[in-house]
Chain A
Amino acid sequence: MSENEASAAEGPGEAAEIRDASPTDTPDSSSPTAPDSLTDVAPTRKARRRPETITAAEVEETPKAEEQPAKTTSESTVSQGGWGYWGSWGKSILSTATATVATVGQGLTQVIEKAETSLGIPSPTEVSAQVEEEQKQQGSSPADDAGSEKDKAVGDGSSAVGSAMGMLSSLTSVVQSTGKTVITGGLDALEFIGKKTMDVIAEGDPGFKKTKGLMNRNATLSQVLREAKEREELQTAQTEMSESEKKVVAHYGMLFDEFQGLSHLEALEILSRESESKVKSVLTTLSGDKRVQLREELDHIKESFSLVEFDDEEVDEKKDEDGSEFDRDISEALEGLSVSATANKLSKACKNACSQITHMTQPEKEEEESEGDGNKAASVEEVHAAAIRSLAELTARSIELFHKLAETILFSSSSTDASLLSQLTVVLCKEISLLSKKFTSCLTTAGSNEKGDVLNPLITGVFLEASNSASYIQDAFQLLMPILEISHIQRRAESSEQ
């Protein structure tokens, strides 16, 4: 791990470096940050961790640094409001990126320097100057449009493009294509930096590899996850041979598979794919007004799938000590949908996680007072392992729930309200976010005597997997759309027959 080589300076302060990423800067140049900023950043909100979007976020962030070089992490988190009409997606991407940045900590200066020196890439200032120059030179070339769009957006943060984005905040495809437009519009150098930075970060952080795996845009979610799992299996096999002192290592992908998350996801994908092609073939058999009408009805269903919003600033760490609130929310969201058995499994998983947290928080405090250091080092890893395991279980159960919902929807001819499902998605993502916050504060407590280079990667790992979990859940939710569509078409056909 490259982080380990870095000095033991506090993570958050260093994190400002990425914004201020010119190679001549020393870590001291950034102002210190309140330590709690570490736990403040929660990456799970609307966490679409597609690399393109992250790159886009970095694109935004870098020029910003020129304006306010001394910004600290916590300040910039607050100041996201200033990005105005970039709206919630911009905000969430920013905070996602910030979280990664903040928690990776001291590794980052090194990362940036490594990325820059290994590439011979100029500082952000030079790059943006270069971009401007390129624009001038290129004159009316196609890149110009996108480039100036970017300039507008970065310049005052209130461009028309931005406001449109805000409205379509949860349409990933839009986000992705926007990211692409911005990048292809003469910002290749920045994209390159972004990708390279990700690569270098990934070198130091195994958890990041999964996110990198998502770069393969053609792969289905289950493939991505399976590949991640296989990599982990390989890794484990190799480390077992090479390092015998390897301690408790939690592998999200393997655990996710163990909880049958992969299988349920695969099955859900099959149903979704088949429904999708059925919907398409129905649409091709219809003609004229009938087709237009059905299209409209289907668009109505689609709308419910593009309006998932959740703001995890509302997520309060103190809330829901034992998972009973989650239980209530889930049963509320699932009222009228007959999937109680699976919902119970989910609630149980959540309650388990909550009781684990309670267990881990209390003895830890006692230990601190009486025994001192004791076996602190092991307990940090235990907390981490418990966190990853809980996230994997909760996510697997969530996917299972969506799969069972899909089957029930296809099976029964009653109508299912898409907004119920989106509400359910919000509840699940909130729970993931809440759990990750609880676990990381648990980690912080358990690791109060640890050096940053031990603790920070673990915290990053939890946030990353929480963020991945939230996006798997949201992707699984999207898989339900064709299923609701075909169910709608079937009901329609039945009622017209009568």
Chain B
Amino acid sequence: MAYAYLFKYIIIGDTGVGKSCLLLQFTDKRFQPVHDLTIGVEFGARMITIDGKQIKLQIWDTAGQESFRSITRSYYRGAAGALLVYDITRRDTFNHLTTWLEDARQHSNSNMVIMLIGNKSDLESRREVKKEEGEAFAREHGLIFMETSAKTASNVEEAFINTAKEIYEKIQEGVFDINNEANGIKIGPQHPTTNSTLSGSQGGQQPGGGCC
């Protein structure tokens, strides 16, 4: 159960593109065709191995509905990775990507790794957005890109893991300050010394409830 690092992810994108399904496929390896609307945020967690190191992914699956936007934005902060999802069978979800991206960049740290995901790749016959378009958008905005299917599990594993690899590389390069929790990275419990600095550095922050 012990892990070397913990990465916080957020999953964002229009409602109905399959965010919760991607998470369920990744954490539970199953597909649920009908999913309740996500309220605010839901969570998932899974352990993966990169470079022989155990990494725990803590995934915040946000609600896609516009009306929840002001709440979900609060959760962007402190994420190391983001999965920005659109539905290849609905062009409007692709068109909204710019807004999502701006939102994400504005409310999170600048080093956050963003993976663009064109979901529902199993529905080839209903495709409205070409793969090349997704690739082009990703290139233009400096994102990683993948087409996935939460239903068939195609590329789902890869999407989550490749994002983690990118984050891990950034840590190795020293881009991420792992002692700053606002980057969405925590060091696992086997580094007691670093851990105490972690909690110490955050200790100065405003405690959530003790205002009365």
Contacts and interface: CB of A to CB of B under 8 A. Distances in A.
B35 to A, nearest CB: 12
B211 interface: yes
B26 interface: no
A237 B2 contact: yes
A234 B205 CA distance: 26
A264 B58 CA distance: 12
Given A236-B1, A267-B60, A411 B43 contact: no
Chain A interface extent, by class: 35 or more
Interface stretch (B88-96, B118-126, B189-197): B189-197
Given A218-B207, A305-B212, A407-B71, A227 B199 contact: yes
Interface string A115-133: 0000000000000000000
Contacts of B202: 219-220, 223
B199 A223 contact: yes
A267 B2 contact: no
A263 B60 contact: yes
Nearest to B68: A411
Contacts of B52: none
A220 B74 contact: no
17 contacts: A171-B212, A172-B210, A222-B208, A230-B195, A234-B2, A263-B58, A263-B60, A264-B43, A267-B41, A268-B208, A269-B209, A270-B74, A270-B75, A305-B212, A479-B209, A481-B209, A481-B211
Interface of B: 1-2, 36, 39-41, 43, 45, 58, 60, 67-68, 70-71, 74-75, 77, 188-190, 192, 195, 199, 202-212
A175 to B, nearest CB: 12
Interface in A244-284: 254, 260, 263-264, 267-274, 276-277
A475 to B, nearest CB: 6
Contact of A254 (B1, B39, B188, B209): B1
A270 B202 CA distance: 13
Contacts of B41: 267, 407
B74 A404 contact: no
**Most-contacted residue by chain B among A172, A216, A270, A305 (CB, 10 A):** A270
A404 B75 contact: no
Contacts of B204: 218
Nearest to A412: B67
A233 B1 contact: yes
B178 to A, nearest CB: 15
Given A230-B189, A267-B41, A408-B39, 13 more contacts: A219-B199, A221-B209, A223-B202, A223-B203, A227-B195, A233-B189, A237-B1, A263-B58, A270-B77, A272-B208, A306-B212, A407-B71, A481-B211
A452 interface: no
Nearest to A485: B211
Contacts of A216: 199, 203
Contacts of B75: 267, 270
A270 B70 CA distance: 13
Contacts of A263: 43, 45, 58, 60
A309 to B, nearest CB: 16
B43 A276 contact: no
A498 B210 CA distance: 35
A385 interface: no
Nearest to A480: B209
Contacts of B71: 271, 407, 410-411
Interface in A452-498: 475-476, 478-479, 481-482
B199 A407 contact: no
A302 B212 CA distance: 8
Contacts of B40: 267, 403-404, 407-408, 411
Nearest to A222: B208
A288 B48 CA distance: 57
